[in-house]
Amino acid sequence: MIEPILEVKDVVKFYEDKAVLNGVSFRVFKGATKIIIGASGSGKSTILKLIMGLDRPDEGTILVDGEDITKLDEQQLAHVRKKIGMVFQESALFDSLTVRENVGFRLYEEGVDEEEIDRKVREVLGFVGLEDAIDKWPSELSGGMKRRVALARALITEPQIMLYDEPTAGLDPITSRKINELIIALRDIKSVTGVFVTHRMRDAFTLATEYATNGDHEIKFRTEDNFLCIANTRFLLLRDGKIIFEGPDEVLRKSEDEYIKRFLA
Amino acid sequence: MPLSPTAAVKEVQDVSLLAAKAFGSIFRRPHYVRDILIQMELIGVGSLAVVMLTGFFTGAVLTLQTSKTLSTFGAVGYTGALVAVSLVRELGPVLASLMVAGRVGSGIASELGSMLVTEQINAMRALGTDPIKKLVVPRLLATISMLPVITIVADAMGILGGLFTSVFVLNITPNLYLNRAWDSLRYMDLFGGLLKPLVFGATLAIVSCHCGLRTYGGTQGVGRSTTQAVVASSILIIVSDLFLTRIILAYTR
């Protein structure tokens, strides 16, 4: 039987006596993407923080690659975090470091050779299309560029799992599209498992209906049709800390639930 | 907003925990030598001007004030002795620490607070780096190591300020002033005067880091943390000075 790479079991999380998450359980298999949607304050970002070990659940367990991370201390979490990359809502770039230092942060910390860091930083910046911005400061970048640098920073050590916390929030449609394409490429070309949190349905459906293939010199993006249906990307809808829907986009669109219909409208 | 007794106890507990973690991390790898040196420059070299000015004018004013009292006993010649002892034992360490608390404490709290509200601290943790080792320990070590140096500068400038007033206002010869100052100082005065900034440095670094790392409420919260860092470290410096002075005097009689 295939074991999930990420499993959240009966997780409960309180903030000041209010249950932000109330018995949340789901599994993500290797190479798959889980799109978590829900209104503001429904606990979407909290799930990502719990998976990354930035916060602890009050009840329940979280298994990353079969290891329960809820029992680990900050030092023990370090090796789990090497398997996970995270893109924060507002990029969270270190504003006193250049793009090179931001992207190569993890490698500098590990004491990797300077030349090797430069090579890897250029490679990953090339993937997000920002090789020219290597010596810029975060304050010199636009919102979309910052998100792409944040994506590059998370990807530098080739993590098995990527967590995206509203990576397109506040961006224009063209820049959002660029970010979504990068996430699709990571899923389909590099088989990176993903958890994508958003309340922008347009971005969510792009991820659920489009796929990437390796072209001659560039990555090509196509929409699923009668011959190919994307099966590795599923939705999870949160409402008041509870999962009220889990399944593929086709079922979500046809749901008769009043709340879901209003949410999708 | 006044603190409830429970919140006050929790605050003390959090500060103690941070101090324990920070001191415990000093000897654990990795060691951020570059960050420590950068902080030493920011804290040490950056504070020199303000501490030199404060030291000089405090010494000058202290000389004027004490000479008036000493003149009633016909002992104006002892001004140098009184000024030197007061500065080295008490005013140098306390004033230098208060100046650094105002300048550096606010800087530490606002920098860490901004990093917290913009999720840079979480990003650092997500990238596998311990913020206590990377951010708190370098600031703690830099403050502890630079504050005694800054205190020596403040003491020297204070004595110089006193010399200036003595010579140009009180008409005391430089030799008399400096000889009295030199003769009055004991090694234990220097020991006490350099022990205090070590304790004050640790206090202001830990309190400022704590205030920065528990910031909430966006940019307004950063402002609040900055104010709290300066107020709390200044009060703690003055209160701990009383206890330290009592202990030092008890052992140096």
The Cα of B208 is separated from the nearest Cα of chain A by a number of Å equal to 20
* pLDDT score at A263: 85
User: What would the mean pLDDT of A50-66 be, rounded to a whole number?
Assistant: 94
User: What would the mean pLDDT of A216-222 be, rounded to a whole number?
Assistant: 82
User: Residue written as tokens 């099966």?
Assistant: A231
Q: Is residue B24 part of a domain?
A: no
* pLDDT score at A220: 85
Q: Is residue B197 part of a domain?
A: yes
pLDDT at B107 exceeding the cut of 80:
yes
Q: Is residue B11 part of a domain?
A: no
- Whether B11 and chain A come into contact, CB under 8 Å, resolves to no
- Whether A81 and chain B come into contact, CB under 8 Å, resolves to yes
Q: Is residue A110 part of a domain?
A: no
Looking at the DSSP bridge assignments, the partners of residue A34 are A195, A234
User: What would the mean pLDDT of B37-46 be, rounded to a whole number?
Assistant: 93
The model's pLDDT over A68-92, given as tens digits with 9 standing for 90+, comes to 999 998 888 988 999 999 999 889 9
Q: How far is the C-alpha of A155 from the C-alpha of A141, rounded, in Å? A: 19
Q: How far is the C-alpha of A12 from the C-alpha of A22, rounded, in Å? A: 5
Contact A86 B126 (CB under 8 A): yes
Q: Which residues of B touch A89 (CB under 8 A)?
A: 119
Q: Is residue A210 part of a domain?
A: yes
- Whether B32 and chain A come into contact, CB under 8 Å, resolves to no
Q: Is residue B21 part of a domain?
A: no
DSSP 8-state assignment for residue A88: B
Selecting from A88, A105, A109 the residue whose C-beta is nearest the C-beta of B119 gives A88
**Binning pLDDT at 50, 70 and 90, where does residue B178 land?**
very high
Q: Which residues of B touch A153 (CB under 8 A)?
A: 127
Interface test with A, best of B127, B129, B132 (most A CBs within 10 A): B127
* pLDDT score at A166: 92
Number of domains in chain A: 1
Q: Is residue A90 part of a domain?
A: no
Q: Is residue A95 part of a domain?
A: no
A155-159, B154-158, B182-186: which is most confident: B154-158
* pLDDT score at A23: 92
pLDDT at A194 exceeding the cut of 90:
yes
Q: Phi and psi at residue A178, in whole multiples of 5°?
A: -60, -45
Number of domains in chain B: 1
The model's pLDDT over A22-47, given as tens digits with 9 standing for 90+, comes to 999 999 999 999 999 998 888 899 99
Helix, strand and coil content of chain B, in percent to the nearest 5, comes to 85, 0, 15
* pLDDT score at A1: 61
A172-186, A190-204, B147-161: which is most confident: B147-161
Q: Which residue of A has its CA nearest to B31?
A: A109
**Binning pLDDT at 50, 70 and 90, where does residue A49 land?**
very high
Question: What interhelical angle do B106-117 and B218-252 show, nearest 10?
Answer: 140
* pLDDT score at B2: 61
pLDDT at A219 exceeding the cut of 70:
yes
The model's pLDDT over B9-19, given as tens digits with 9 standing for 90+, comes to 998 999 999 99
Q: How far is the C-alpha of B122 from the C-alpha of A242, rounded, in Å? A: 25
CB contact set of B152 (below 8 Å; sequence gap of 6+):
B92, B194
* pLDDT score at B217: 87
Tell me how many residue pairs between chain A and chain B have CB atoms under 8 A apart.
50
Q: Is residue B23 part of a domain?
A: no
Interface test with B, best of A51, A72, A90 (most B CBs within 10 A): A90
User: What would the mean pLDDT of A2-31 be, rounded to a whole number?
Assistant: 91
Q: Which residue of A has its CA nearest to B112?
A: A94
The Cα of A106 is separated from the nearest Cα of chain B by a number of Å equal to 6
* pLDDT score at B1: 53
Q: Is residue A92 part of a domain?
A: no
Structure tokens at B208: 């400022």
Contact B128 A106 (CB under 8 A): yes
Q: Mean pLDDT score of chain B, rounded to an integer?
A: 92
Q: Is residue A149 part of a domain?
A: no
CB contact set of A149 (below 8 Å; sequence gap of 6+):
A91, A93, A99, A102, A103, A125, A128, A130, A133, A138, A141
Q: Are B36 and B77 in contact (CB under 8 A)?
A: no
What contacts 24+ positions apart, CB below 8 Å, involve B217-221? B217/B117, B218/B117, B219/B114, B219/B117, B221/B113, B221/B117
User: Residue written as tokens 């050779």?
Assistant: A113
Q: Is residue B94 part of a domain?
A: yes
Interface test with B, best of A46, A50, A81, A124 (most B CBs within 10 A): A81
Q: How far is the C-alpha of A255 from the C-alpha of A75, rounded, in Å? A: 44
Q: Which residues of A touch B126 (CB under 8 A)?
A: 52, 54, 81, 84, 86, 88
**Binning pLDDT at 50, 70 and 90, where does residue B79 land?**
confident
The Cα of A94 is separated from the nearest Cα of chain B by a number of Å equal to 6
Selecting from B120, B125, B126 the residue whose C-beta is nearest the C-beta of A94 gives B120
Prior bond of B30 cis (ω within 30°): yes
Contact A105 B129 (CB under 8 A): yes
The model's pLDDT over A150-171, given as tens digits with 9 standing for 90+, comes to 999 999 989 999 999 999 888 8
Q: How far is the C-alpha of A259 from the C-alpha of A24, rounded, in Å? A: 19
Q: Which residue of A has its CA nearest to B120?
A: A92
**% of chain B at pLDDT higher than 70:** 98
Selecting from B119, B123, B128 the residue whose C-beta is nearest the C-beta of A109 gives B128
Q: Which residues of A touch B119 (CB under 8 A)?
A: 88-90, 92
Interface test with B, best of A109, A110, A151 (most B CBs within 10 A): A109
Q: Could you tell me the CATH number of the domain that includes residue A186?
A: 3.40.50.300
Neighbour count for residue B243 (Cβ, 10 Å): 10
Residues B135, A157, A102, A98: is their CA dihedral positive or negative? positive
**Binning pLDDT at 50, 70 and 90, where does residue B45 land?**
very high
* pLDDT score at B106: 95
Q: Is residue B25 part of a domain?
A: no
pLDDT at A217 exceeding the cut of 70:
yes
Domain span at B64: 31-252
* pLDDT score at B253: 63
Q: Which residues of B touch A52 (CB under 8 A)?
A: 125-126
Helices (H), A30-165: 44-52, 74-81, 99-103, 105-109, 114-127, 143-155
Domain span at A253: 6-83+159-264
Q: Which residues of B touch A109 (CB under 8 A)?
A: 30, 127-129
* pLDDT score at B124: 95
Tell me the residue ranges of DSSP E strands in chain A: 6-15, 18-28, 33-38, 59-64, 67-68, 84-87, 161-165, 193-198, 210-214, 219-223, 233-239, 242-247
Three-state DSSP at A62 gives strand
